Amino acid sequence: MKTESLSGLAEQHLAIARQASNGRSAQTVHGGHAGVLRQTLIALAGGRQLDEHESPGEATLQVLHGHVRLIAGADEQAATTGELLAIPDARHSLKAVHDSVVLLTVAKP
């Protein structure tokens, strides 16, 4: 069995995101495109966002650090450190209000 330090990865990727021209950094920490379950750590510098995209399937977003807004059409949900959001089955975007790190968990059909 392998143990990952999510807090260590969060710090590492947030440092990368702060320096990156697109303001983000990500790493798959479990699974992959071939498996059913995939978990990806995503770091976003404050004020940056993931542009609108399709829903990846059944998914949740756990805020490991910071403050984010999940936007789907006219609906918007804010979450801060320690909170969990269910991602809607609709096009959506994610904005980092402050420097933020989230854990995206996707279960593909």
CATH at 54: 2.60.120.10
Exposed (0-12), middle (13-18) or buried (19+): which is 13, by Cβ within 10 Å?
buried
Q: What is the mean pLDDT of residues 15-38?
A: 92
1 is a domain residue: no
Q: What is the pLDDT of residue 69?
A: 98
Quote the CA–CA distance of 48 and 68 in Å, as a whole number.
10
Q: What is the pTM of this model?
A: 0.93
* Highest averaged pLDDT of the listed ranges 7-21, 26-40, 48-62: 7-21
Q: Is 35 inside a domain boundary?
A: yes
In this predicted structure, the answer to whether residue 31 has a pLDDT above a threshold of 90 is no
Q: Which domain holds residue 16?
A: 6-107
In a domain, 79, yes or no: yes
Coil/strand/helix, residue 83? coil
Q: What is the mean pLDDT of residues 16-41?
A: 92
**Contact, 72 vs 45, CB < 8 A?**
no
Query: What is the pLDDT confidence band of residue 86, given thresholds at 50, 70 and 90?
Result: very high
Total domains in the fold of the chain:
1
